[in-house]
Amino acid sequence: MSAVQDAAPPQPSASPPPSPPPSQPLISLRGVTKVYGEGALAFQALKGISLDVQQGDFVAIMGPSGSGKSTAMNILGCLDHPSTGAYLFRGVHVEGLTRDERALLRRRYFGFVFQGFHLLPRTTALENVELPLLYRGEPAAKRHAAAAQALADVGLKGWEHHTSAELSGGQQQRVAIARAIVTAPAVLLADEPTGNLDTHRSHEIMELLWRLNVEHGITVLMVTHEHDMADYARRIVHFVDGQVERDAPNPAPLMLRPGHKSVTAAEALPTQANQPAPAAASEEGT
Ligand SMILES: Nc1ncnc2c1ncn2[C@@H]1O[C@H](COP(=O)(O)OP(=O)(O)OP(=O)(O)O)[C@@H](O)[C@H]1O
Ligand SMILES: [Mg+2]
C-alpha cells in the first residue's frame, strides 16, 4: 500500500499536525530525478536533486533556462511526481501517495504564485481570492471574510471589488499572492513571481514575500533569474543541468541589511485611507 498508512497524511478537516521537530526538515528531496517522455524521446530534466528545506526558510532557486527549476517546483508542490528518488514532506513519503492524496496535501499545505498571475478576468479581486475556499466548500461569509483579510495582508484593502483588468501588474500579482495565502499554507511556491513586473513593482512583491515569511511564518521557495530578487532570500540554490550546483545561505538578506530602505512606503501599498477605490465606490453607489 501507499506510504500514507505508515505516515498518517493530513486530512482536509483535521487540524494541522504538529510542526516537524527541528531535526526533521519540512521538505526533503533525496536523489529526485524526472524523465519526460519515453524511449528515444526521453529527456532527463532532473538528475538527482537532494535538498532539505526547514520550516520558515526563504529559498531562492536560480539557474539557466531549462535547468529544471520549474520541474522541481512542480514536484515540490505535488503538481507532478518524481521518476525516481524520494520526496518527504513533514516526514511523509509524497512519492508514495496516490494522486488524490497528493491533491489533498497540495490544497492543505501549498500556495502557488506564477509569473503570469493566472487571475480570472472580469472577476473581482475578492472573488479571485475566494476561489480556493470555494473549492474547499467554505460558506460564503467565511470566504468573504478570509479573502478580505488576505487582500488586506497584501496591501489591497479597498481594492476588493476591482476586476483584474482594473489592476496594475503589481496589484494583480498581489491578488494572486492573496489567493495563495488565503488558505494559510505552510509553503508558498513562487515561480518567477516578478518575471512580468518592472523593477519597482518587483521589489514591492519581494518585500511582501519577505513579510509573509517573517510575519506569517510561511516557508517561501521562489524561482528567479534576477540576483537582485534572490538577494531577499535567506538561502540561494543554483540549478545547472538538472542538478544542484551550489546551495548556500545568503549571509545578509536584503531586508536585514543596516540602512536598507524599504520600497514599500505608504504610497506603494494603497489602502482605503490613502487611495480610494473608485470602481468599488461607484459599484456600491449603483
Ligand atoms: N512536460 C514536459 N515534457 C517534456 N519536456 C519538458 C516538460 N517540461 C519541461 N521539460 C523540459 O525539461 C527541462 C527543464 O524544464 P524546466 O521548465 O524545469 O526548466 P526551468 O529551469 O524552469 O527553465 P526556465 O528558466 O526557462 O523556466 C527543459 O529542457 C524542458 O524542455
Ligand atoms: Mg521555469
Q: 113 vs 4, which has greater pLDDT? A: 113
**Which residues surround ligand 1 with Cβ inside 6 Å?**
36-37, 43, 45, 63, 65-71
Residue 53 maps to which CATH number? 3.40.50.300
CA of 114 to the centre of ligand 2 (A): 10
Q: How much is the pLDDT for 270?
A: 44
In a domain, 238, yes or no: yes
Write down the pLDDT at residue 120: 95
Pocket residue to mutate for ligand 1, from 32, 34, 36, most atoms within 8 A of Cβ = 36
SS3 category, 273: coil
The rounded distance, in Å, linking the Cα atoms of 121 and 78 is 26
What value does the CA radius of gyration of the chain take, rounded to a whole number of Å?
A: 19
Read off the pLDDT of residues 10-44 as tens digits, 9 standing for 90 and up: 444 444 555 656 679 999 999 999 999 999 999 99
Q: What average pLDDT does the chain have?
A: 88
Residues 6+ apart with CB under 8 A from 100: none
Please report whether residue 6 resides in a domain. no
Residue 221 has pLDDT above 80, yes or no: yes
Say whether pLDDT at 78 is over 60: yes
Confidence of residue 1 (pLDDT cuts 50, 70, 90): very low
**What is the domain range of residue 113?**
25-252+262-285
Placement of cell 511523509 in the chain: 92
The residues, ordered by sequence, that sit 6+ positions from 44 with a Cβ below 8 Å of its Cβ are 33, 34, 35, 36, 242
Taking CA atoms only, the protein residue closest to ligand 1 atom 25 is: 65
Residue 257 lies in a domain: no
Answer whether residue 221 is part of any domain: yes
- Tell me the average pLDDT across 127-141: 95
Taking CA atoms only, the protein residue closest to ligand 1 atom 18 is: 68
Predicted TM-score (pTM) of the model is: 0.87
Amino acid identity at 185? P
Check residues 265 and 119 and name the one with the higher pLDDT: 119
Distance CA 238, CA 67 (A): 9
Task: Note the ligand closest to the C-alpha atom of 66.
Answer: 1
Burial class (CB in 10 A: 0-12, 13-18, 19+), 143: buried
In a domain, 3, yes or no: no
Q: How far is the CA of 70 from the centre of ligand 2 (A)?
A: 4
Ligand 1: nearest atom to the Cα of 64? 25
264 pLDDT tier (thresholds 50, 70, 90): confident
- Whether 69 is covered by a domain: the verdict is yes
Q: What is the DSSP string of 115-140?
A: TT--PPTTSBHHHHHHHHHHHTT--H
Reported in sequence order, the residue ranges of the chain that DSSP labels E, i.e. its strands, are 27-36, 43-53, 58-62, 84-89, 92-93, 110-114, 187-191, 219-223, 235-240, 243-249
pLDDT the model gives residue 19: 62
Q: What is the arithmetic mean of pLDDT over 74-97?
A: 96
pLDDT of residue 282: 37
Nearest CA, atom 19, ligand 1: 66
